[in-house]
Amino acid sequence: MRYILKILLIFSLSVLLFSCDYTNDVKPEENNNINLITIKSHYKVLEDISKTFSLINYYVNTLDSTKSDSITITVDPNDSVTYPKTITIDFGDGVQCYDGVVRRGKIILTLTGPWKLNNIQHNTTITAEFDDYYYKSPADKDFIERTGKLTISFDRFINSKPVYIVDAIEAKLIFNNDEEIYWNSSHALLWETGFNNLQNLQNEKWAITGSSSGIDIEGKTYYTEILDSLYYSGSCNNGEIVDGKLKISPGNSPPQIINFGNGECDNSVNVTVGNNSVSLNI
């Protein structure tokens, strides 16, 4: 499956700075124009998209089930026939969720129709907005604030597997000292496994195609295009991209071709710039 997705991206004119610890044995300025900061910034974006997609599907599809985490979910109107409806997921002052991530604040969803796969229709959409919302994964040192919008639209089934269009709109990750990553993106996600058992995160796997544009943690603009589908696996390090190829074009620097491997759970990528290649941990 191949999608060519075109999106109009609006950038802030201000320079955004960031000083988190993104150390690595390879220094980008000394290694053939490799932009390590841009690569790691966009990996954080891909991680956010994947985990937010998983989170929203979990809570919307299990509204009628008993949750293992102590969150509050309200539905308005609270019936099975009236749409659109608003679903508010309230994490309060902080709770460790089913996936091991600690979250606080609210995610407010607007749902245009039934979302369960036995009743979903083409172009049924969830729009997510974030109200004082923060999260902290086990690998994060501090809480990260998420702002902007995310839309998830059901597209179709391919061989009984659901496909969604996921658009991030003026999205930001804001770190504990107000430093930011900013992006807009449009991706198609083919959900290959795990959609029939949302409790089993280890079985989640989807293929991602599409493109994005953003401003990295050092205030540099960049553009991306997925060349070969990226495969997200929930069984690898609590969720990781383990396969596929991505092109990142950072500002005036030459394109960086990021190869995520062939399914290995090794938290590393191979970066090629021109005729030069190097392996990096991310």
Residue 269 falls inside a structural domain = no
Provide the pLDDT for residue 45.
96
Summarize pLDDT for 9-65 with one digit per residue, the tens: 333 333 333 334 443 444 444 455 788 999 999 999 999 999 999 999 999 998 877
Gap between the Cα atoms of 190 and 226, Å rounded: 14
Whether residue 26 is contained in a domain is answered as no
pLDDT value at position 24? 42
Q: What is the mean pLDDT of the segment spanning 173-191?
A: 95
Q: Is residue 195 part of a domain?
A: yes
Give the C-alpha separation, 98 to 102, whole Å.
9
Q: Say which residues have a Cβ less than 8 Å from residue 172's Cβ, sequence separation at least 6.
A: 145, 146, 147, 148, 180, 181, 182
- Domain count for the chain: 1
Domain assignment present for 280: no
Question: Is residue 224 domain-resident?
Answer: no
Residue 261 maps to a domain: no
Segment 73-112, tens digit of pLDDT = 999 999 989 999 999 999 999 999 988 899 999 999 999 9
Residue 17 lies in a domain: no
Is 109 a member of any domain? Answer: yes
CA pair distance 164, 61, nearest whole angstrom: 15
pTM of the model: 0.86
SS3 string of the chain?
A: CCCCCCCCCCCCCCCCCCCCCCCCCCCHHHCCCCCHHHHHHHHHHHHHHHHHHHHHHHHHHCCCCCCCCCCEEEEECCCCCCCCEEEEEECCCCEECCCCCEEEEEEEEEECCCCCCCCCCCCCEEEEEEEEEEEECCCCCCCEEEEEEEEEEEEEEECCEEEEEEEEEEEEEECCCCCEEEEEEEEEEEEEECCCCCCCHHHCEEEEEEEEEEECCCCCEEEEEEEEEEEEECCCCCCEEEEEEEEEEECCCCCEEEEEEECCCCCEEEEEECCEEEEEEC
- Which residues constitute the domain of residue 54? 32-217+230-235
